[in-house]
Amino acid sequence: MSTIANFPEDLLEEHMNWHHSHHVDDPSQLRPGYGAEFLRFHRGFIRRALDWYGRQRYDSSLVAPWQRVPEEIRRAPCYDRSAEARIVMQPQSFRTADELGLFIEGSGLHGCIHETAADLYGEPDINDFDVAPRNTVFYNIHGMIDGWYRNWESAGRVNQGMLEWGGRFAAAESARAGSEETEEALRYVPESGRWWLGRVAAIGAADSAGAAGEVALDGGKTSWTTSSAISQRALRLNWQLVGEDGVLGKQPDARFLRVWDTDGDGRSEVLYYSLPDGKWWEGKLSAGKLSWQQIKRSFA
C-alpha cells in the first residue's frame, strides 16, 4: 500500500473531473444512468492507468484486484454484507449494468470500502477522489469492483445461452495486464460437454482485408473478425479443446455459473454450484487442461 511515484497529472485530473461532475451528496438519490457510467468509466480508467503503471515496470502485485473485500473492512459498521452477497452471488438479480452500479453506490459499499481502507491503512488519499488513483489500494478496490461487473456480464451472457467469456485463463502470470498476448476466450458447448480455449492471434495484412469468418466447435459456430478493442491490428481467435466436462453436465443451471479470478493470480477460474448436491466446484486451466476440484465458499 503506497503512493505511486510520478503518477500522471492528466489521469488524476480525469478522475477528479468525473467525480466532481457526477457528485451527489446522498448516494440513495443517484439519477438513472449513473450506475452504468460509474462502472464503464472506472473500467476504462483503471485500464489506462495500469497500462502506464506497467510501462514503468512497477510491482504489479501492489495493484492486483482484491478477490474479496478484506475481513477487517467487512467488519466495519458501514459495511453491508447482505449487499455484498447479492452482488457476488446473485448478479442475475440486476437487470442492467445501471442497476448494478447504482446498487454498489447506493448500498454504501463503494464509499464504505474507500473510507474504511483509508482509516485502517493510514492512507487518507484512498478516501479523497481527487487523488485516490495515485494510491495502489485504489486499484485493489476498483479491480475488484470491475470483477463484480464482469461477473454480472457473464451471468447475462449465460442466461442468454452464450456460454463464452473473455479474459485471461491460461496466460502466463507475468504477462502485463492489458497486453494483447494475454487475451483469451473460454467457451462451453453444452451439447457435447466440451470446453474450448480461444487465443488471440494476429493475421497477416494480406489476409486481413475485410476478413471475417466462423469456426465450428462441436457443431456450433463462433465468429471472428479483423477488428478488435485489444489492438488496431487484425486479430482472430485460435481454438483448442481443453476439457470434457464431468461437472456441469449438458444442461448447466446458468444461475449458479460464475467466472472470475478466485486466487488473485491474474487468471480467471470457473465456479459452479451444483444445486442437487449443494456442492461448489472450481475449474482451473493448467497445462492445457481444465481441471476441477470441490471447494467451499462462505460470505457470512
One domain for residues 178 and 219: yes
Neighbours of 291 (CB within 10 A): 12
Give pLDDT, residue 299: 52
- The answer to whether residues 185 and 153 belong to one domain is no
Look up cell 486479430; give the residue.
235
Which of 131-140, 144-153, 253-262 has the lowest average pLDDT?
253-262
Rounded to the nearest integer, the mean pLDDT of the chain is 80
C-alpha closest to that of 87 among 162, 145, 160, 154: 145
Domain tally, the chain: 2
- The set of cell numbers assigned to 162 is 452464450
- Are 95 and 173 found together in one domain? no
* One domain, residues 35 and 129: yes
Both 154 and 27 in a single domain? Answer: yes
Residue with cell 457473464: 154
The answer to whether position 31 is within a domain reads: yes
Decide if 1 is inside a domain. Answer: no
39 & 151 share domain: yes
Domain region containing 148 = 9-158
The answer on 189 and 48 residing in a single domain is no
Asked if residue 235 and residue 125 are part of one domain, the reply reads no
Cβ count within 10 A of residue 126: 25
57-115 pLDDT tens trace: 999 999 999 988 999 999 999 999 999 999 988 888 898 999 999 999 999 999 999 99
DSSP three-state, residue 247: coil
Q: Which of 290, 215, 281 is nearest to 252 (CA)?
A: 281
Do 111 and 190 reside in the same domain of the chain?
Answer: no
Per the domain annotation, does 19 fall within a domain? yes
User: Is 221 contained in some domain?
Assistant: yes
Return the pLDDT at 233. 39
Burial of 211 (0-12, 13-18, 19+ CB in 10 A): middle
